[in-house]
Amino acid sequence: MAAGFKTAEPLEYHRSFLKENCRPDGRELGEFRTTTLNIGSISTADGSALVKIGNTTVICGIKGELTSPPADAPNSGYIVPNVDLPPLCSSKFRPGPPGEQAQAASQFMADVIESSEVLLKEDLCIEKAKLCWVLYCDIMCLDYDGNLLDACVIALVAALKNAQLPEVSINKDTDLAEVNTDKKRHLNVAKHPVSSSFAVFDDSIVIVDPTAEEETLSTAMMTVVTDENETLCMLHKPGGTSLSSEKLQDCISRAVTRNREVGKLINTVTQSVETDK
């Protein structure tokens, strides 16, 4: 019976739960799904992380390459994020060139890196105007069940923390780069941005961490990115129904507490990997 109701009237089905301040999967309105983190899972990458938020699974691999710095900023490097949504992760996505959602997510990640200054691009420079690192941060979704952006941000930050780059110096005589693979060091991850996504139902009910189904039924989506100093890095709301300032404030407060939870998670996982060695 319930299954039939769910298929025929998905919106009514969700509304009947929201009226009781809970959700079909048993969560409260302000409750995130269980988040798990696994780092260093790809041995061929310089840094990697696998994140699961409920069913949503995202993997991020970081590969560093050497290149010459951009002409307009000779003492900085590059960080190139790319989000891939393959047909594997959901029937929503078709094979072929990246769709709008994948492109928008890539741009979102680039904006998060830029706004939060998670990594200073100047740190990636090895020799001014000659040599610098380019970090390719490839993020791939393996299972899409909503809240892609939150998973991507956690995966990126954890992978950056996990990444180790070899020491590189320029030989004065030959003018060539020399890579010392024995000496590796971690990146200087200055800030820890964490994003929290919200979905708006019927113009007034705000829920956190929406599943794919809740995303399609909601009237608006919003993502708030904060860093550990409670500074906002992003308030991304791509349209949809409007929200009052009070509701926004509630969302920001929720995002700040979420930041602490995720920060703790990333720290414990990184430390446990370190002690294993």
Partner 1 sequence: MRSRLATTMEVDGLSAFSLREFGCEQNLLSRPDGSSSFVQGDTSVLAGVYGPAEVKISKEIYDRATMEVVIQPKVGLPGVKERAREQCVRETCEAALLSTLHPRSSLSLVLQVVHDDGSLLSCCLNAACMALMDAGLPMGCLFCGVTCAIDPEGHIVTDPTAQQEKDSRAVMTFAIDSAQHRVMMSSTKGSFSVNELQQCIAVSQRASEKIFQFYRESVRRRYSKTV
Q: Which range touches partner 1 (CB under 8 A), out of 19-27, 57-65, 181-189, 231-239? A: 231-239
Residue 124 corresponds to which amino acid? L
Is 68 or 216 the residue whose CB approaches partner 1 more closely? 216
Q: Judged by CB under 8 A, does residue 12 bind partner 1?
A: no
Q: Give the C-alpha separation, 276 to 273, whole Å.
A: 5
Q: Judged by CB under 8 A, does residue 166 bind partner 1?
A: no
- Hey, is 15 helix, strand or coil? helix
- Hey, is 25 helix, strand or coil? coil
Q: Which range touches partner 1 (CB under 8 A), out of 51-59, 65-73, 154-162, 216-224? A: 216-224
Q: Judged by CB under 8 A, does residue 80 bind partner 1?
A: no
Q: Do residues 218 and 210 lie in contact, with contact meaning Cβ atoms separated by under 8 Å?
A: yes
Q: Judged by CB under 8 A, does residue 238 bind partner 1?
A: yes
Q: Do residues 151 and 108 lie in contact, with contact meaning Cβ atoms separated by under 8 Å?
A: no
Nearest to 112 by CA among 71, 76, 154: 154
Kindly report the length of the chain: 277
Q: Which range touches partner 1 (CB under 8 A), out of 29-37, 47-55, 152-160, 220-228? A: 220-228
Q: Judged by CB under 8 A, does residue 103 bind partner 1?
A: yes
The residues in 253-272 that bind partner 1, with binding defined as CB under 8 A, are none
Q: Judged by CB under 8 A, does residue 239 bind partner 1?
A: yes
Whole-angstrom Cα Rg for the chain = 21
Report in angstroms how near the CB of residue 181 gets to partner 1 at its nearest. Answer: 33
Q: Judged by CB under 8 A, does residue 111 bind partner 1?
A: yes
Q: Give the C-alpha separation, 14 to 23, whole Å.
A: 7
- Hey, is 193 helix, strand or coil? coil
Where does this chain bind partner 1 (CB under 8 A)? 100, 103-104, 106-108, 110-111, 114-117, 219-220, 222, 227, 230-245, 248-249, 252
